[in-house]
Amino acid sequence: MNLTRILSVVFLLAALAVGYKLYKGVDDVMQEEKRIARIEARVIEKLQMLRDAEIAYLASNGEYAGSWPELKKFIEDGQIFIVQKSEEVKLLDYGKEEITVTYDTLGSVNVMDSLFNERKYPEFNLEALNVVPGSGGKTFEFHADKIERGANKILIDVFEIRDPAPVNPTRRANNNEKALRVGSKTDASTSGNWE
């Protein structure tokens, strides 16, 4: 073998090694992004379930649950009332309408059966609902309060449920500023920051 052939084989092997390293580097980044997307989708699903439970808790108790044990007890033992609303419109002599609204309670249903039934969530596990997926066992942070709004200082209920340990590095920046959350500590909002 002459020197040209030896160098050709060496360069070919080096090119193959560099090509494999490039492929592996790009593939690793893509696999990590897919893993983060899967985990965040599971976190969002849990936050949506917790939001539904908080809204039902507010409707039943007049305030949001400030901790997981409160909300868990409500999910296990709470009732959601089935209410029928009917309106009667009466035309007055001078052309205006008078509307009478009537509410009738038809019955109640368990929170667990209503919000977390098997059809909607076939693999629902109440014990793991507050555990953040992909966090190694960390739980969501709960906050509920009343804040004053407007010139009349009206008290409104607010809640926030937040992921304390985001998997996504961009969500961890600035002390988890962009962590996935639902609700708000400062506004009467039930939206999630992914919406």
Q: What is the mean pLDDT of the chain?
A: 86
Express each pLDDT in 137-193 by its tens digit. 888 999 998 888 878 888 889 999 998 888 887 777 777 778 888 988 888 888 888
Q: What is d(CA 178, CA 186) in angstroms, rounded to the nearest whole number? A: 16
Is the confidence at residue 33, as pLDDT, over 70? yes
Nearest to 131 by CA among 17, 57, 58, 42: 42
Rounded mean pLDDT, 18-47: 87
Q: What is d(CA 12, CA 186) in angstroms, rounded to the nearest whole number? A: 62
Q: Quote the Cα angle for 25-26-30, to 5°.
A: 120
Express each pLDDT in 62-106 by its tens digit. 899 989 999 999 988 888 888 888 898 888 878 788 888 888 888
Q: Which two tokens stand for residue 32?
A: 């990590």
* Cβ contact 54:71 at 8 Å: yes
Is the confidence at residue 11, as pLDDT, over 70? yes
The DSSP annotation for 14-75 comes to HHHHHHHHHHHHHHHHHHHHHHHHHHHHHHHHHHHHHHHHHHHHHHHHSS---SHHHHHHHH
* Portion of the chain with pLDDT greater than 90, in percent: 11
Tell me what pLDDT residue 1 has. 65
Tell me what pLDDT residue 5 has. 86
Distances (CA, A) of 51 to 29, 48, 86, 158: 32, 5, 28, 12
CA dihedral (165, 69, 71, 61) positive or negative: negative
Is the confidence at residue 24, as pLDDT, over 70? yes
